Structures are given as C-alpha cells and as structure tokens.
Amino acid sequence: MFLIPFLVLFVSYTNAKSVVAKSVVVKVEQGSLKGEILQRTTGNGEYCSFKGIPYAAPPVGELRFMDPQPALPWKGERDAINHGPICPQIQINTNKYISGAAEDCLFLNVYTPTVKPKVPLPVMVYIHGGFFVIGSGNSDRLGPDFLLDHDVVLVTINYRLGVLGFLSLDIKEAPGNAGLKDQVAALNWVKKNIANFGGDPDNVTIFGQSAGGSSVTLHLLSPMSKGLFKRAIAMSGVLFKDFGLPFEHVRRVYLLTQQLGLNTHDPKEAIRFLKSAPAEKLVTAKPFVLYSEKPRRDVLELFYFKPIVESNKGSSQPFLTEDPLKLLNENKTNIADLIIGHTTKEGISRAITQKKAILKYFPYYKEYFVPSNITYKLNSSEILELGDRVKKHYFGDKEVSEETMKEVIELYTYFNYDYNIYRFLELWLKTGNKAYFYEFACFSERNINGKTGIQYGLEQATHADDIPYLFDGSSVPLELNKTSPSYKMITQTCTLYTNFAKYGTPTTSTCPITWKDYGQKKSYLEIGNELKPKTEDKRPEIEFWRDIYKSVGLQFS
C-alpha cells in the first residue's frame, strides 16, 4: 500500500518569542518519521531533511559480525532531526578511538526537494569512503544542498567499518562482508520506502568515492545487489585498489583474539570471545600478521579487515562468492550505466600526508615500491628485484627525498589509484557494457587536499578534492560565493552527475558539450574550470604497471 506523506507545522516558544519551524512527517515500513524543512545554503529554496533513520536492526550483542537484520518497528512518530551515531572507528593518523561512536550505527539520511513531486524524482545513494575503516554519511562532510538544486533525492548511509564490518572466520556467526551487506540492506530499504519521500525506486544511482567507489564496483558484481540500482558512479576507487581482497583473514582473527587475551584456534570459541570484547579494544587493536606490515601500514593503504570472497560455510546470503576478476572475465555482472574516473593527481594527498614515513622507509627498503598484493606472492629476493625496477622507473639514479617528492606523488598516483581504475575500466568494457570516463581537474579554494601540492609546484586536484564540489560540508570552512569560479564548477559537476542519474547520459541539451562514452575512441571528459572532451592517448605509466603485474604472473584478464 502506498503511504502518503504529509506536512505538519509546529510552534516552539523561546524567551517569550514565537519561532515557527516547519516539520514534515513521512510514513515508512517501520513507522512514522518526523523530519524538518530547511533552507538550502545555495539560497535556492527549501528541502526536506530526514536524518538518523534506522535501516537495519542494531548489530550489537549476538548480532555483532553477523549479517544485518531487518529494522525494528516503532510506535508513534520517530524524530528524524539529528544524525544517528557514527560507526566505531579511529582517528586515522592517531589511532585513537573516536568518542561518540556506537555499534548501533546503521542509519541513513534522506534529503528531498519535496515529498510530493509532480513525478517521482531520481534517487542518488552515496557510499562514503575512508579505507573501509573511517567515515560516515553525516552532513558535516556530505551536506545535500548542491545536489538538491538539481531535483534529485539524496540518500547517505553509515555502514559497519573495520573489524566490526569485515572480520570473517568463514562461519555463520562471522561470515564476512558485513559492511557491504549493510550497504545492500540500505539499498533494500530505499527500494521499499523511497517513494514516500518523492523518489523513484526504479531509478536509483549508487555513487561513492575511494572505498565508496570500490564498494560501487563490488555492487556491480554481487548477486545480492542485483536489481537494487540502475546506474553507478565510481569516483577514485575500484575493487582492485590496494585495499582489495585481504591476506590471511582467518589467521588475522586468531591473532586479534590472542592480542585481546585468548589463545585459541577454535572459531566458535574465538567468536564468542570477540563478541564480548569492548568495541574500542577491537577497533584500536593492531593485528599485524607479518612484521613488515606495520611500516607498510605507515606508507601504504594497508588495513587489517577488508572485503573477502566468502566461504560457502558462512552466510546463507553471501555478498561475494567468486573472485571479482573471474566474475568480470566471465561477464557475471549487474548491468548498469557507469561513470568512472579519477582526479588529476591522486597521489598528492596520500604522499604528503605520509611524507614522514615515506622519507623514513623508501630510501632504504625497496620492498615499499611493490604493491601489497604482489609482495604476498613473491619471495624476498623477487620483491627486492621488482622494487629496484619500480624505483629506477620513477627516480632513476636519484634517491627518495624532499627534493624528489614530485616523483613520489607520481608513483603514488599510479601505484595506488590510476592503474587499478584503468584496469577495471578495460575489463568492464570487455563485458560489453559501456562507461563514461572522466578526469576531475577542478582547482580552487575548495581543493583542501590539493592545495598541499602547491609547495611542490602542483596546483592540481587530488584524492577527495571532488567531494566539496558535490557536497556542502559544515565541517569544511568554505564560504559559498555564487559569483565565484568555484560555484560554476560546483554547478557543472552536479549537473553532469544528476543528468546521468536522470537520463543515463551525463550530458544533455542543458550542457555546452557532449561527453562520449569511453568505447568511442577512448573518449573521456576533463571536468575542470571548463569542460573539455578529450581522447585518451596511450599512457606509458599504465603500460609500465601492466608489465609489472604480468611479470609476476598476475595478468588482469
């Protein structure tokens, strides 16, 4: 039965002064939600905001590490004014537990121009990044105002992170991929309820950045996600990235258990113990399986618990049961329109953030020039030989130092990001699907990360620099000037993405250019201060990394 949303006005009194605030009530499967009507920061009218909506049961107690369960119903009207708690996580640079986080964190937020549109609006569901260990869907970074100016419904979500989201013992009590299954649960909730917010459940676009982009590409392959979305946008992240499939995930669980006080190799005993351990201890533990992993964690994106290929002994509804590469090569995909791309210099952010560790390890230990997924498959001599080859390619006879940080940035750009994105793009096209490819090149005061490259003569967009052009975050002190060049870049970026959500093509009659799909002579779009259609030249860096992987028997197709 279709549930009709309705508006309610209420009056609050403060210091004998009446302040009229608008609220809006919508019915969903679990009960009624009372949101609020807010002014857009762009000055372009109002929107309806619903925050902290539970889309699954709290994953606490016996449900810790398990697949998400259906959301619980409530009586009366549930307040949807404030965000729910963020999922347990650390501050990434200090490894300190973030206070206020809670395991009862499976909430989503819905923002809509109106709950009663003339025709249902396209829906965009954003999956946040953060290495699968940090982040949330909250408006401090993901304010909806820019996208809502383009008549779409926006949904942002939390999902379980790190050990709580990705620990696996290949048993039903801890099958793995809980964080990805949380995302599926959120998409199922959207499918069932979004019509009551004015959204079209049959026109859903999933999009995400970094680990969110990796999640998007995994949803393109998971049988659990089939039919839950129509289009996808993967920003600066794919499943092949260095935070891909994990190493020795079961052994790592037993090491974690030992670090917390129990020495066992019985999976049932281990999981009983871990279900009773404080979340803070789980999240801040450092279960390095190899001694070399600690420095690699300091210089690379190496984290302990990640998406896995699930055992048939675990979940009755697994997220992923076959290697993603095999699924792509056998064309076992969820057909969807796709946008995929990266920023101009992805490596600026990570290289400069980790500069101290890079200068400590890279000049002396050539193994750090080799991606983790290769080091796990080679002996020490082979790793050093390959490291010498990569080091010579990027640095020649120079050493890694403050004077060669430009070369470090170039290494990180391809080593961590670009090559893996091209790899996925090529395999996706071989399945017969099409994709729109882009390079994000906007540069203004909104490039919080990119500005760190200026000291090395680089005024270019880097990892996560695209987020402030799609979202208005209150935690980022950026003033909005509608006459500035940056506002034009916000408008054109949001137009491209929302056109894609509406029509399946990012450029329509409202755009000054045509963005051709990559299959047409390797066409792509440079999204910068201006929009520039281009044709891809053969990139030597891509061929270099292709040869590196082939040389160790890790062909990608």
Active-site positions? 210, 346, 463
Query: Which residues partner with 342 through β-bridges?
Result: 439
What does the alpha-carbon distance between residue 244 and residue 309 come to, in Å, rounded to a whole number?
11
What does the alpha-carbon distance between residue 415 and residue 374 come to, in Å, rounded to a whole number?
12
What does the alpha-carbon distance between residue 35 and residue 24 come to, in Å, rounded to a whole number?
5
Please, what is the end-to-end C-alpha distance for the chain in angstroms? 47
The position carrying tokens 């004014």 is 81
What does the alpha-carbon distance between residue 139 and residue 21 come to, in Å, rounded to a whole number?
20
What does the alpha-carbon distance between residue 85 and residue 105 come to, in Å, rounded to a whole number?
5
Q: Following DSSP, what letter does each residue of 408-460 receive, concatenated?
A: HHHHHIIIIIIHHHHHHHHHHHHTT---EEEEE---STT-TTGGGGGGGT---
Within 13 A of 191's CA, how many CA atoms are on the CB side?
14
What does the alpha-carbon distance between residue 296 and residue 287 come to, in Å, rounded to a whole number?
13
Q: Position 231: which residue type?
A: R
Residue from 161, 108, 103, 155 nearest 130 by CA: 161
In 146-167, which positions are buried (b, 16+ CB within 10 angstroms) versus exposed (e)? bbbbbbbbbbbbbbbbbbbbbb
Q: H or E element: which one contains 547?
A: helix 540-551
What does the alpha-carbon distance between residue 50 and residue 5 come to, in Å, rounded to a whole number?
13
